[in-house]
Amino acid sequence: MRKISNLLSNSNLTSREKFLLLVRDDAERIKAGKGLLTPADRNVLEHWQAKDNFEVREWNHLTNAWRHANEMDLEVEFIYQDLRADYLYQVPILLRMLGYPAQRRMGRCIDTLRELNIAALDETIAALSRIHEAETSFFETQSGGETLIAFKDIEIEELFRNRQSQLVEGYAKLLAFEALFKRLEREYETDMTSHVAQRLGLVRGSIEEINEGVCIATGFPNTFTEEERRILRRGEVLRFKEDMIIDIDAIQPNPEAVKDHEETLRKILGNF
């Protein structure tokens, strides 16, 4: 790449063009670990002399908005870390969900042993029943011809639902940040959404894992093969009384999450 120092000495780059060269260099350093500019190039761009007040204002506006964008990126990371904690809180419950089909099968086996009515098996059945009761986190009821599944512990259920709600709210915030960064991309002519897009992908993956756990616990259609359904006696599909599947694609950006940021950027850049 031709040195920017030579280019500057033979051209009339505007203050905006100079700043955007620095922005692209920063973006490339983050992306590839190596910038487009040499140290000499950056030195020239960072220590140029403005010709008039217009160039000073333009440079300052771009600098201030860029700094604010970096603050937004930091907030994105804080939101993601909170969401990561929300997901980790749900992992023990998720593992219980994943194990429920096996626990249900164990319960069926215990029922079958009881039906055999063999006295010599009484102690074994009692021991298995205690283990089953201790390890099973759900119970089933019949309602209107359907089999409903519910948490044994109401507090655990409330924790699970609250963490789900926080995941949805946080995902909506990240979507709003992504939309605002996309608008800034038009101003800075470079990719500004890579970080928030990566975090959105990770949160989406966490939500999908939780949805999968709910589907496995309830035997949602296509979760099990026909052979697995036969073994587990899962001809029917269970369901929670209230739907616990998160429709990720239905989550919309929350503009309130970035309202202050948008107002700050408007004060700096005007309409963008």
Helix (H, G, I), strand (E, B) or coil at 246: coil
The percent of residues above 90 in pLDDT, for the chain, comes to 54
Across the range 238-261, mean pLDDT stands at 94
Q: How many CB atoms lie within 10 A of CB 25?
A: 20
Q: Where are the beta strands (DSSP E) in the chain?
A: 138-143, 146-151, 239-240
Return the pLDDT at 221.
55
Summary mean pLDDT of the chain: 88
- Between 150 and 235, the more confident residue is 150
Q: Distance between terminal CA atoms of the chain? A: 31
DSSP for 132-167?
Answer: HHHH--EEEEEETTEEEEEES-HHHHHHHHHHHHHH
177 DSSP 8-state letter = H
Return the pLDDT at 29.
84
pTM score of the predicted model: 0.84
49, exposed or middle or buried, with CB in 10 Å at 0-12, 13-18, 19+?
exposed
Handedness of CA 190, 192, 194, 197 (dihedral sign): negative
**Residues 169-215 pLDDT 10s:** 999 999 999 999 999 999 999 999 999 999 999 999 999 999 999 98
Tokens of 114: 């009881």
Across the range 63-78, mean pLDDT stands at 96
**Residues 122-175 pLDDT 10s:** 888 899 899 888 888 999 998 888 889 999 999 999 999 999 999 999 999 999
Distance between CA 27 and CA 46 in Å, rounded? 16
- Between 49 and 252, the more confident residue is 252
